[in-house]
Structure 1
Amino acid sequence: MGRTRGAPGRRPRLRFDGWITGMGTSSGTRIVLGHWHRSPFGPFSDVMIERADGERLLLAPSHRTADFVRGTYTFDTVRVVPVDVSIAHGTWTVTAGPLDLCFTAGRRGLPGILLRAVPGVLAARPVWAALTDWPARLLPTHVRTRGRAGAGRREWYGVRDLRPVGAVSAVFEGLDLGAMAPVDPPVRFGFGSVPRNPTLTRVTTTVELGQ
């Protein structure tokens, strides 16, 4: 999965298939992990962090991915560091430069069960993201499934599964970030935030490049 072709004159579109996990901590730090099985850059993971003082930090595994992500979203600081993710028995372990993160995936509820029934071909299309955007806007979560990003780009998030995050352990630069907490206030990397409750979300993300 990568660059998609469209009608003549339409801007190029890139697709990313994987998981986005958003979580907060009692220290006020909010963390968003992107774990992409398929992308135009191959498999990779990246971490976006908003600290209690408002600093927005990107941890990316290569200059190429860092340039693309910071061209799409807004950060105060960007670091290129190894980002390693391992998953075993519902536990995710992440090592990304100054961050050591571990969290568990809980049992999916009814929304996750219903989303898993959506055909993958449909969920990957921007029209699905457009249809789910209006219900998302009715919820007090600051979640958006489509919008405008940096560099004149547009984005669509096709949600395919939802699972709650059961527990979080996070250490940044040797300091414990505290217990799991809601993502509050919402993160400010792009046009929307992740769900307020810590959530593991399966998505197909489509990015339409600007001119």
Structure 2
Amino acid sequence: MRGWGPRAAGRRRRLRFDGWIAGLGTASGTRLVVGHWPRSPFGPFSDVMAEHPDGQRVLLAPTRETADFIRRTYSFDAVRVVPVAVRHAGRTWTVTAGPLDLRFTTGRRGPLGLLLRAVPGPLASRPLWSALTDRPARLLMPGVRTRGTAGRGRREWYGARDLHPVVGVTATWQGADLGGLAPVSPPVRFGFGSAPRAPSLTRITTTVEVGAGEEDRAG
């Protein structure tokens, strides 16, 4: 789709992913980050990043292609290619991904969500805007970054466009109950920044800048 494939940036390319990121913790200590991308260079797909209480970081991705791209951008101890399905009806989201069965509910957006909604989408999705909002984001939500250096020298920008709190969750991993909703604490360690400490669902445009010589078959 035009505008969503590789973009030239000197000798580098910029890839854009538009969708949602849910970050939440559970009483068991497992923290989950779900990405749901209706528009991406790989077409529509979803993925899950999990960090367990012992620190093991696991990626669940639907194809080898998406798994390879994500693991080159973030850090994991294990990568599994499994079917990943994300569905939502109203404020309820359901995620099935290999060992994970997850269901969470969102609440009404608060002041920050209203503020993000007021920013025009074309502006919020620009890397320059993400660079300008990085310091305020760190002050408002410790651990959160809107720009940084990812794996293999890649650069990345997060442009948030809406925010809802997550108010309820049921989750199992390989059939074991992960417990009730909890903060994302300690912070997850997949990349240069964590998800917000308060469980949340963020409407977002992510831009990843990769080297022009990389063999990522996107778009």
RMSD: 1.1
The question of whether the paired residues in 2 share the 8 Å contact of 1:137 and 1:143 is answered with yes
**Counterpart check, 1:75 vs 2:49:** no
Give 2:188's aligned residue: 187
Q: Which residue of 1 aligns with 2:144?
A: 143
**Separation (CA, whole Å) in 2 of partners of 1:205 and 1:174:** 32
- Secondary structure of 2:22's match? strand
Write the distance in 2 (CA, Å) between the matches of 1:77 and 1:151.
Answer: 18
Residue 134 of structure 2 aligns with which residue? 133
Q: Secondary structure at the match of 1:135?
A: helix
Asked if residue 85 in structure 1 is aligned to residue 76 in structure 2, the reply is no
User: In the alignment, which residue of structure 1 is the partner of 2:7?
Assistant: 5
Instruction: Name the residue aligned to 2:216.
Output: none
Match of 2:54 in 1: 53
CA contact (8 A) 1:141 1:194 kept: no
Secondary structure of 1:52 counterpart: coil
Q: What SS is found at the alignment partner of 1:48?
A: strand
Matched to 2:153, the amino acid is G
State TM-score, norm by structure 1.
0.97
Aligned to 1:122: 123
C-alpha separation between the residues in 1 aligned to 2:6 and 2:129? Answer: 17
Which residue of structure 2 lines up, in the alignment, with residue 63 of structure 1? 64
Give 5+ residue unaligned stretches, structure 2.
214-219
**Helix, strand or coil for the counterpart of 2:179?**
coil
Q: Deviations over 1:58-98 (max 9, x none)?
A: 00000000000000000000000000011012100000000
User: Which consecutive residues of structure 1, in runs of 5 or more, have no partner in the other structure?
Assistant: none
Runs of 4+ in 1 over 6 A off after TM superposition: none
Residue aligned with 2:12, SS: coil
Q: Is 2:138–2:145's contact at 8 Å kept on the other side of the alignment?
A: yes
TM-score (norm 2): 0.93
Pairing 1:164-175 to 2, within 5 Å after superposition: 164-175=165-176
